[in-house]
């Protein structure tokens, strides 16, 4: 048990060091030695946990995805019948709490692989959510659910990146959620100020 806690502490220290260094210098400019030194760990200790800095970045991203999924689950369950905006609000709140990790992933650091991993995970979960919602409501989607999920996730990630890059969010998470929910419900034409065409 003590060893388990020690392992978790070491991995967390290495993860935190990677995030801080990527924000300072960019992923390509840092080395395993830099990360180990920042985490106050030996190089051998790093390699006892990870194969390289890419492996560590993958772990940072997979941990982020897992934490997000856990936090979003109650909101997703509640949104099974209709659009509530609650999963999006939870995504924004998680991003606010883990802003630095979101920043390095959403910037596409590490050859864009962590961003692709994050995007694919979110798109899969969203597509499944859309499919189940349609099924429960007895409706047939007019657009393929995977394509629809990719569009929705793409919009969210573009907004999310803009939102986390500010030291203080440009608007509250609740306001962003309200606006994106209205966009989802009424469409871009309405959101741009036009009335529905006659």
End-to-end CA distance of the chain: 68
Is the pLDDT at 2 greater than 60? The verdict is no
What's the average model confidence in pLDDT over 92-102?
Answer: 95
Fold adopted by 1-50: Arc Repressor Mutant, subunit A (1.10.10)
Is the pLDDT at 79 greater than 70? The verdict is no
pLDDT tens, 130-150? Answer: 888 888 888 898 888 889 999
Where, residue-wise, is CATH 1.10.10.60 in the chain? 1-50
Where, residue-wise, is CATH 1.10.357.10 in the chain? 54-191
| Class of the CATH domain delimited by 54-191 | mainly alpha
What's the average model confidence in pLDDT over 76-104?
Answer: 86
DSSP of 58-94: HHHHHHHHHHHHHHHHHHHHHTSSS--SHHHHHHHHH
């Amino acid at each position: 048990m003590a060893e388990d806690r020690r392992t978790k502490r070491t991995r967390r220290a290495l993860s935190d060091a990677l995030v801080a260094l990527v924000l300072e210098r960019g992923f390509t400019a840092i080395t395993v030695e830099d990360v180990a030194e920042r985490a106050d760990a030996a190089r051998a200790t790093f390699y006892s946990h990870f194969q390289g800095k890419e492996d560590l970045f993958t772990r940072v991203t997979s941990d982020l995805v897992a934490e997000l999924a856990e936090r979003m689950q109650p909101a997703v369950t509640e949104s099974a019948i209709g659009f509530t905006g609650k999963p999006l609000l939870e995504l924004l709140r998680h991003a606010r709490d883990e802003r630095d990790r979101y920043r390095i992933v959403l910037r596409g650091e590490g050859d864009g692989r962590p961003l692709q991993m994050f995007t694919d995970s979110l798109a899969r979960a969203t597509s499944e959510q859309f499919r189940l919602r349609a099924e429960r409501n007895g409706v047939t989607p007019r657009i393929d659910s995977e394509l629809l999920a990719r569009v929705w996730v793409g919009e969210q990630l573009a907004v999310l990146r803009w939102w986390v890059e500010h030291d203080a969010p440009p608007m509250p998470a609740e306001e962003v959620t309200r606006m994106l929910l209205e966009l989802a419900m009424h469409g871009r034409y309405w959101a741009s100020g036009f009335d529905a065409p006659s």
